[in-house]
């Protein structure tokens, strides 16, 4: 089995990012690895950068909002869920819209 440890994955993703530093997929993936290691503020910074550069990168809305919940930034999480739902609706991505809505409703109710 070719299992990569978190630091190995991070090193590989960072190497790819050196060639394409604005790649939303790679930055999103790196943020998820940071979450696994408990580097929550680094992950938050990356998700914010992804959504700043590419507001149509719908998957990052959910993960950023969930992260903000973990960081006990409830109001910010609500805002990002709302932005994500709006973006998913505009894109016609009903799967993402439903996931965002479910997480949003769990938070506010």
Model-level pTM?
A: 0.92
pLDDT in tens, the chain (109 residues): 456 676 789 999 999 999 999 999 999 999 999 999 999 999 999 999 999 999 999 999 999 999 999 999 999 999 999 999 999 999 999 999 999 999 999 999 9
Q: Which of 12, 19, 96, 26 is nearest to 54 (CA)?
A: 26
- The pLDDT assigned to 7 comes to 73
Report the C-alpha gap between 90 and 72 in whole angstroms.
29
Spatial separation of the C-alpha atoms in residues 87 and 58, rounded to whole Å:
7
The residue extents of the domains of the chain are 6-108
Overall fold of domain 6-108: 1.25.40
Residue 26 has which token pair? 């790679």
């Amino acid at each position: 089995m070719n299992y990569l440890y978190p630091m190995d994955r991070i090193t590989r993703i960072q190497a790819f990012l050196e060639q394409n530093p604005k790649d939303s997929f790679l930055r999103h993936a790196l943020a998820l690895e940071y979450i696994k290691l408990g580097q929550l503020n680094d992950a938050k910074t990356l998700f914010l950068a992804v959504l700043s550069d590419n507001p149509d990168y719908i998957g990052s809305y959910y993960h950023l909002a969930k992260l903000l919940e973990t960081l006990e930034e409830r109001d910010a999480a609500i805002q990002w869920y709302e932005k994500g739902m709006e973006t998913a609706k505009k894109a016609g991505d009903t799967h993402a819209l439903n996931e965002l809505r479910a997480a949003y409703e769990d938070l506010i109710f």
